[in-house]
Amino acid sequence: MTEHSSSQIGSAEPNIPDDPFDDPSYEPADFVVVANRLPLRHSSAPGDDGWLPSPGGLVSALTSVLQNRQGLWIGWPGTSADQEPPSTYEGIRLKTVAISAEEYEEFYLGFSNATIWPLYHDAIRSPTFHRTWWHTYREVNLRFARTVAENVAPGGTVWVHDYQLQLVPQMLRQLRPDVHIGFFLHIPFPPSELFMQLPWRREILAGLLGADLLGFQLHSSASNFSRLARRLTSATGTDSGLDFEGRAIRIGSFPISVDCDQIVELAADPKVRARAREIREGLGNPEFLLLGVDRLDYTKGIQQRIKAIAEMLDDGLLSAERQVMIQIAVPSRESDAHYEQERHDLERAVSEVNGEHGLVGHPAIHYLHKNLPFDELIALYLAADIMLVTPFKDGMNLVAKEYVMCRGDLTGKLILSEFAGAATELRGAYMVNPHDTDGIKESILLAMNAGPKETRDRMSRMRRMIFRRNVYDWAKAFLAALALTTQ
């Protein structure tokens, strides 16, 4: 397979009107957010043809910024063309980028999630390299870049998000060299020994180098990128700044966070607290309630966690009546056969544990494969004595931060993978190697036996850290850094 030069990327001209800024029907935006998905999702409720806001603090933070700057959000609606999303949401304009069913298979399920996703997550599963997927990835990225070029005002600011759109910065720069471009990667960026496997490694690096500011969750990811750029392209500089094709590019780490005020407010809501008590009562008021909340993905280490619980039940260290576990597996990429197999394997593992250790009315593991409203998640966080967050690799993992922010009374214990980005900040957690089953078991025992003072000290330390910078501060910090860059 041959590698294309960066000059080939995005060479087509944008479809902009001859005199766009004199056309009253053309409303360019000074600030544009570009992401694979719009901030809305189509309702799956029977008989409901409406649109709902996507969950999460990121949408809230970016919506707030867009409202203040009269901005535009560009993305794919996640549905077929016959389900047209609204043109505005919460006072911000939306622009749809269409993706066909075939492109979804090759761009999203293929290159984005069967090539880039595993490669960037330590190749926990082997990435798959297909030229047709790569070609479709380029085509879809170019479509996004053209849409931005047609809709951003002269000298405007564009903030591109995540691994699905890594070619957009350079494509957009060739189309609109007048705009300021920021890019933020929400997942890890791999070290050279993994990234070098990618046949189109130079194209990806050149695509990202089109940005004025490249943001990563952790310094290690920023360093990985900068070193690879210096090795494989003409870029020169340091881990924090590069010179490439006559431009200065800033590289930095910007750890994402949660909406602290929203979580604290929900956690104090009498209805939510009553629901938390109801959950515990429905489980027979166990001595300890352990909780896992994860998107169904092989990177999350859910089955390794289940294995640790099973062994503790085998050894008599846990009892299905006194120590109960809830595992929430949020549906993910359900049309992907690999994820369907992941679900099958997980549900079989849970069934085996319950078949061997559960009692009538007392399963050892309560398992749910569904999306839950955010207030229900908060109630679960409040109900749980021990939170298990044990991914094999994660860019950040906001579930860990959400759980900590719920514990205003400084109760609750967090068991956290040392390979989650959140581990660099949440030093009060019980750190584990998710590949070490014995280590997970030991940490569960330590958490169960921790006294009130140790628990308060650990939780207080983590809460102070999260309060220092919420998701709004994260967005402001990135945009402030982008504003300081020069073309």
pLDDT tens digits, one per residue of 374-393:
999 999 999 999 999 999 99
On whether the CB atoms of residues 288 and 448 are closer than 8 A, the answer is yes
Nearest alpha carbon to residue 380 among 300, 266, 467, 465: 266
Average pLDDT over residues 251-277: 96
Using pLDDT thresholds of 50, 70 and 90, give the confidence band for residue 6: very low
One-letter amino acid identity for 343?
A: R
Inside any domain, residue 86 = yes
Statement to judge: residues 232 and 316 lie in one domain? no
- Taking only Cα atoms into account, the Rg of the chain, rounded to an integer number of angstroms, comes to 23
Residue at 1 is within a domain: no
Place of tokens 């890890």: 188
If you average pLDDT over residues 8-24, what whole number do you get?
43
Which amino acid is located at 208 in the chain? L
Is residue 245 domain-shared with residue 266, that is, in the same domain? Answer: no
Angle at 386 between CA 384 and CA 390, to 5 degrees: 120
pLDDT of residue 80 exceeding 80, the answer is: no
Q: Is the pLDDT of residue 49 over 80?
A: no
Q: Is residue 248 located within the same domain as residue 301?
A: no
Q: At what angle do helices 219-232 and 201-208 cross, to 10 degrees?
A: 120
Residues 458 and 420 in one domain: yes
Q: Give the model's pLDDT for residue 334.
A: 66
Q: Is residue 345 part of a domain?
A: yes
The CATH number linked to 328 is 3.40.50.2000
Q: Distances from the Cα of 191 to the Cαs of 58, 237, 343, in angstroms?
A: 26, 18, 29
Number of domains in the chain: 2
Whole-number Å distance between alpha carbons of 59 and 18: 34
pLDDT band at 315 (very low <50, low <70, confident <90, very high): very high
pLDDT at 399 over 70: yes
Looking at the structure, do residues 315 and 352 belong to the same domain, yes or no?
yes
The secondary structure of 333-359 as a DSSP string is -TT-HHHHHHHHHHHHHHHHHHHHH-B
Q: Among all chains, which residue has been given the structure tokens 């090795």?
A: 231
Q: What is the pLDDT of residue 333?
A: 74
Residue in 486, 481, 484 with CA at minimum distance from that of residue 216: 481
DSSP string, 221-247: HHHHHHHHHHHHSS-EEETTEEEETTE
Would you state the pLDDT for residue 91? 83
User: How many CA atoms lie within 13 Å of 223's alpha carbon, on the beta-carbon side?
Assistant: 4
Place of tokens 């544990």: 353
Task: Check whether residue 387 and residue 476 sit in a common domain.
Answer: no
| Antiparallel, parallel or unpaired: β 152-161 and 29-37 | parallel
401 and 321: one domain?
yes
Residue 344 lies in a domain: yes
CA 43 to chain centre: 21
Residues 6+ apart with CB under 8 A from 253: 215, 216, 217, 218, 219, 221, 222
| pLDDT higher than 90, residue 4 | no
Residues 201, 94: one domain? yes
Q: Tell whether 46 and 117 lie within a shared domain.
A: yes
24 pLDDT more than 50: no
Pick the residue with more confidence: 264 or 26?
264
My answer on whether 54 and 92 are in the same domain is yes
Q: Ranked by mean pLDDT, which of 38-47, 65-74, 147-156 comes out on top?
A: 147-156
pLDDT the model gives residue 325: 97
Q: What is the pLDDT of residue 86?
A: 83
Q: Specify whether 245 is located in the same domain as 329.
A: no
Banded model confidence at residue 55, pLDDT cuts 50, 70, 90: low
Tokens 């992401």 -> residue:
35
Which residues form the domain of 287? 260-468
C-alpha–C-alpha distance, residues 9 and 141, integer Å: 10
Instruction: Tell me how far apart the alpha carbons of residues 260 and 474 are, in angstroms, rounded to a whole number.
Output: 12
Q: Does the structure show a pLDDT above 70 at 134? A: yes
Residue at token pair 């090759």? 106
| Percent of the chain residues topping a pLDDT of 70 | 91
List the structure tokens of 247: 């431009």
**Would you say residue 88 lies in a domain?**
yes
Whole-model pTM over 0.85:
yes
325 falls within a domain: yes
Q: Please, is 46 exposed, middle or buried when counting C-beta atoms within 10 Å of its C-beta (0-12, 13-18, 19+)?
A: exposed
Q: Give the confidence band of 271 by pLDDT, cuts at 50, 70, 90.
A: very high
* pLDDT higher than threshold 50 for residue 12: no
Q: Are residues 96 and 16 in the same domain?
A: yes
